[in-house]
Amino acid sequence: MATLGLNTSGYISSAGIVHKGKVVAGACEERFSRIKRDRSFPANAVAFCLRSANVSKEHLDAVAVGWNPVINLKKDFSLLQDANRLRGIHLTYNINALYGVLGEWGEDERCMVNAFGVQCHFVDHHLAHAASACLLSPFEHCAFATVDAFGEEDSMTMGVFDGARFQTMEHIKFPHSPGSFYSYITEFLGFKRDSDEYKVMALGAYAEDSLSRLFYERLRPLLNFGTKDGRFFFQVDLRFFDYYMFHRPYDFGALEGVLGIKRRTKDAPLKDEHFAIASALQRCFEELVGCFLRHTKEKTGIEKVALAGGCFMNSVYNGRLCTTENIFKDVYIPPFPDDSGVAIGSALFVDFERFGVRGEAMFQNFIGPSITKEEALQVLKKACLEFESPQCIEEEVASLVADGFIVGHAYKAMEFGQRALGNRSIFADPRVKDIRAILNRQVKGREWFRPYGVSVLEDHVSEVFQCDQGFKAPFMEKVVFVRQSWASKIKGCLHNDGSVRVHTVKEDENPRLFRILEAFYKKTGVPLLINTSFNLSQMPIVATASDAIACFFTSGMDALVLDDFLLVKPHVQRKRGR
Ligand SMILES: [Fe+2]
């Protein structure tokens, strides 16, 4: 028996399957449809989850949805009347769509909560976020906080998971929303809202201090937050933000007035004031979320916290929280704090309520579609490609990267989240000063201002970066600063301010990548590699062996590892003298 979880309300649809507390399989629809951030019903992801978990529809005993449309139908949330009506459709949409995926209705077809003999549970969106963090954390009990753009009506919640129940203690309602505030300014700066916030986060590192301060002083008064009478409060000055008008383009006139500059259009050049606004935005965001988390700690009196919601995709803040702010002794952020994770969170929540058991803490997320050795071999042979089967593939990858080559690596089951953690990754040498430009030109086609993340041996992370021993970032979810003594050695991965997004690797959690990193460390004395997702610009991460081969041959990647097989392009072969 198993619980199928769905996310069909967010900016990327997904499905996951949970069996007695353990996440068995999960994937975003984009990995199958090959449409970046696909929002359509995750039919392919559902089919994959059932197949992967070896669960037939007869053995599926619950469906969980990470959105509760009943809240929107019950309450008159006047600012959102149109949106509420549309969200009510979710009540039937998921079951109707599942009908198309799973086959025929059962005898009780008129009871929509009991189609196929399967109960459908609608889980409050923020509760689904909280469950994705608490139930996958290593904590028996903990505080939790969720922060995003909006759920049915909430944008922030905090409370306690006591090991048996979730108790939400406080919440902030939309339209007062940290996520929507960030997204609005993302669009103001000429980027895509609900999508490019991470790019704006990266822009801030180029800001000049005094200009950043100037814009901070203009932006900060538009937010009012703090604590009063033992409760957290937060209000956005809605005279300057019309993001709650979902069905019309934003009118930036009022914000242009207060900031003193016109909004940037998509292709306009990036200027000093744009970097400064990005930096001021990040500072406001960090103060707001920091204040909320300090309140969460004080109110609950608990030293351990589980965090989720799209705002905890903000790796710059996550890093600050765990290196300098240190509000909590221990922090867990799941690999999918964004909405894709509510498929998993809602299924975990329903499963936990039914069985009361929890699986192990999650420190790796290779639960997606897999490439088997047989599939890899079949695809290579069909395409008449020459390949090698090295004795030690990890050594070979490390040698190629150390020689300056860009190596794609597609191995077994893929990651669920948005960050590649080794199984669908592209590796490059962080010692090469201009590697960012080379990667951009040959493979990724990214904007010049965006740095690349690194995978680092966990035992060495505090030697290279400004963090304590024991620092963990198993999902590349935190940005830290390089130590001065290392700055000149790994110039290729440093952002403008000396920061790097890191992924810490332990042998028992990620043995394959651990061995590659160890081999690279033995050759070079550097315990880290640039690790970027295996995809081209505007494309989802590759899923199948065929996807990987297509990506390899349509980019300037030098070598490709498929399972344990190695393909190198002719110029690499010549240089290696083989
Ligand atoms: Fe969310």
What spacing in Å lies between the alpha carbon of 308 and ligand 1's midpoint? 8
What spacing in Å lies between the alpha carbon of 66 and ligand 1's midpoint? 9
| DSSP letter (8 states) at residue 138 | S
Place of tokens 């990193």: 517
Separation CA 554–CA 123 (nearest Å): 42
What spacing in Å lies between the alpha carbon of 340 and ligand 1's midpoint? 8
Contact indicator for 129, 341 with CB cutoff of 8 Å: yes
Contact indicator for 180, 149 with CB cutoff of 8 Å: yes
The structural domains of the chain, with segments of one domain joined by +, span 2-130+341-355, 137-333, 370-576
What spacing in Å lies between the alpha carbon of 15 and ligand 1's midpoint? 15
What spacing in Å lies between the alpha carbon of 324 and ligand 1's midpoint? 26
Separation CA 287–CA 211 (nearest Å): 18
Question: Structure pTM?
Answer: 0.95
What spacing in Å lies between the alpha carbon of 309 and ligand 1's midpoint? 5
Per-residue pLDDT of the chain (578 residues; tens, 9 = 90+): 799 999 998 789 999 999 999 999 999 999 999 999 999 999 999 999 999 999 887 788 899 999 988 887 776 665 555 665 666 677 778 877 887 777 655 544 444 455 566 788 999 999 999 999 999 999 999 999 999 999 989 999 999 999 999 999 999 999 999 999 999 999 999 999 989 999 999 999 999 999 999 999 999 999 999 999 999 999 999 999 999 887 788 999 999 999 999 999 999 999 999 999 999 999 999 999 999 999 999 999 999 999 999 999 999 999 999 999 999 999 999 999 999 999 999 999 999 998 888 988 999 999 999 999 999 999 999 999 999 999 999 999 999 999 999 999 999 999 998 899 999 999 999 999 999 999 999 999 889 999 999 999 999 999 999 999 999 999 999 999 999 999 999 999 999 999 999 999 999 999 999 999 999 999 999 999 999 999 998 899 999 999 999 999 999 999 999 999 999 999 998 888 76
What spacing in Å lies between the alpha carbon of 37 and ligand 1's midpoint? 15
In one-letter notation, the amino acid at residue 26 is: G
Q: Is residue 287 helix, strand or coil?
A: helix
pLDDT of residue 342: 97
In one-letter notation, the amino acid at residue 478 is: K
Indicate left, alpha or beta for 144 from its phi (over 0: left) and psi (-120 to 50: alpha): beta
What is the phi/psi pair of residue 358, to 5°? -115, 145
Separation CA 451–CA 319 (nearest Å): 15
Place of tokens 């204040």: 291
Place of tokens 């089951």: 413
- Is the domain 2-130+341-355 a CATH 3.30.420.40 member? yes
List the one residue out of 526, 525, 556, 562 whose CA is nearest residue 542: 562
What spacing in Å lies between the alpha carbon of 146 and ligand 1's midpoint? 8
What spacing in Å lies between the alpha carbon of 44 and ligand 1's midpoint? 22
What spacing in Å lies between the alpha carbon of 306 and ligand 1's midpoint? 15
Fold equal for 2-130+341-355 and 137-333: yes
Which residues lie across from 154 on neighbouring strands? 173
Contact indicator for 527, 502 with CB cutoff of 8 Å: no
Assign 3-state DSSP to the chain and report helix, strand, coil percentages, each to 5. Answer: 40, 20, 40
What spacing in Å lies between the alpha carbon of 214 and ligand 1's midpoint? 32
In this structure, the chain runs to a length of 578
Residues 6+ apart with CB under 8 A from 511: none
| DSSP letter (8 states) at residue 362 | P
pLDDT of residue 89: 74
What spacing in Å lies between the alpha carbon of 79 and ligand 1's midpoint? 19
Structural element, H or E, at residue 168:
strand 166-173
Q: Spell out which residues have Cβ within 5 A of ligand 1, the ion.
A: 148, 339
Contact indicator for 367, 49 with CB cutoff of 8 Å: no
Please list, residue by residue across 60-86, b when 16 or more beta carbons sit within 10 angstroms of its beta carbon and e when fewer do. bbbbbbbbbbebbeeeebeebeebbee
What spacing in Å lies between the alpha carbon of 10 and ligand 1's midpoint? 7
What spacing in Å lies between the alpha carbon of 271 and ligand 1's midpoint? 32
CATH of 137-333, one of 3.40.640.10, 3.40.309.10, 3.30.420.40, 3.30.505.50: 3.30.420.40
CATH topology of domain 370-576: DHBP synthase (3.90.870)
pLDDT of residue 110: 44
List the one residue out of 459, 462, 564 whose CA is nearest residue 509: 459
What spacing in Å lies between the alpha carbon of 335 and ligand 1's midpoint? 14
Separation CA 180–CA 247 (nearest Å): 15
What spacing in Å lies between the alpha carbon of 475 and ligand 1's midpoint? 18
What burial class does residue 115 get, using C-beta atoms within 10 Å of its C-beta: 0-12 exposed, 13-18 middle, 19+ buried? buried
In one-letter notation, the amino acid at residue 536 is: L
